Amino acid sequence: MERERLIVAVDFGTTYSGVAFCHSTQDGLRDSEVVSSWANNGVAPKTPTEIRYLDGKESLWGAEASLPCERRQVKDASPIYGRFKLLLDPTTSTSVYADRPEPSNFVQRLAGLRLQDSGSIKLPPGKTAIDISSDYLRLLYNELMNQRLRKRYPDTLDITPIEFVFTIPAIWSHKAQEATRYAAEAAGFCSRPSDKLSLVSEPEAAAMFVLQAMHEKNFSRISVQGKTLKKGENFVICDCGGGTVDLISYEVEQDHPKFSLKESVVGTGAKCGSSYIDVAFIDLLEKKLGSNCKTEGWFQKLTERGGALMKTFDSIKKTFGQTTNEIWFLELGTEVPDNEEAGIVDSELEFTASVPFSPVEAASTS
Of the candidates 49, 138, 53, the residue with the CA atom closest to the CA atom of residue 87: 49
Question: Which residues share a beta bridge with 20?
Answer: 9, 34
Q: Is-contact 6 160, C-beta < 8 A?
A: yes
Q: Is-contact 283 365, C-beta < 8 A?
A: yes
C-alpha torsion sign, points 13, 19, 25, 29:
negative
Amino acid present at 175: K
Q: Provide the whole-model pTM.
A: 0.77
Question: In this structure, which long-range contacts are made by residues 149-157, counting pairs with CB atoms below 8 Å and at least 24 apart in sequence?
Answer: 149/6, 149/8, 149/21, 152/21, 152/33, 153/6, 157/6
Length of the chain: 366
State residue 92's pLDDT score.
57
Q: Is-contact 153 205, C-beta < 8 A?
A: no
Q: Is-contact 118 124, C-beta < 8 A?
A: no
State residue 84's pLDDT score.
94
State residue 219's pLDDT score.
55
State residue 185's pLDDT score.
97
CB-count burial class (<10 Å; 0-12, 13-18, 19+) for 315: exposed
Q: Is-contact 176 168, C-beta < 8 A?
A: yes
User: What separation in angstroms does the CA of 272 have from each of 86, 173, 199, 252?
Assistant: 11, 16, 22, 29
Strands 50-52 and 42-43: unpaired
Q: CB under 8 Å to 339, separation ≥6 — which residues?
A: 288
State residue 309's pLDDT score.
86
State residue 282's pLDDT score.
86
Please list the pLDDT of the chain residue by residue as tens digits (366 residues): 567 899 999 999 999 999 999 988 877 777 889 998 887 667 788 999 999 999 888 899 998 887 765 444 555 568 889 999 999 987 755 555 544 333 344 333 333 323 333 346 889 999 999 999 999 999 999 999 998 999 999 999 999 999 999 999 888 989 999 999 999 999 999 999 999 999 998 888 888 887 777 766 655 555 555 566 788 989 888 888 888 888 888 898 887 777 778 888 887 888 888 888 888 888 888 888 886 776 667 787 788 766 788 888 888 888 888 888 888 898 887 788 888 888 889 988 888 887 554 444 444 444
State residue 117's pLDDT score.
34
Of the candidates 306, 77, 39, 51, the residue with the CA atom closest to the CA atom of residue 183: 51
- Give the count of beta carbons closer than 10 Å to the beta carbon of residue 142: 13
- The alpha helices in the chain, defined as continuous H runs, are 69-72, 106-111, 129-143, 150-152, 174-186, 202-214, 275-289, 297-302, 308-319, 359-365
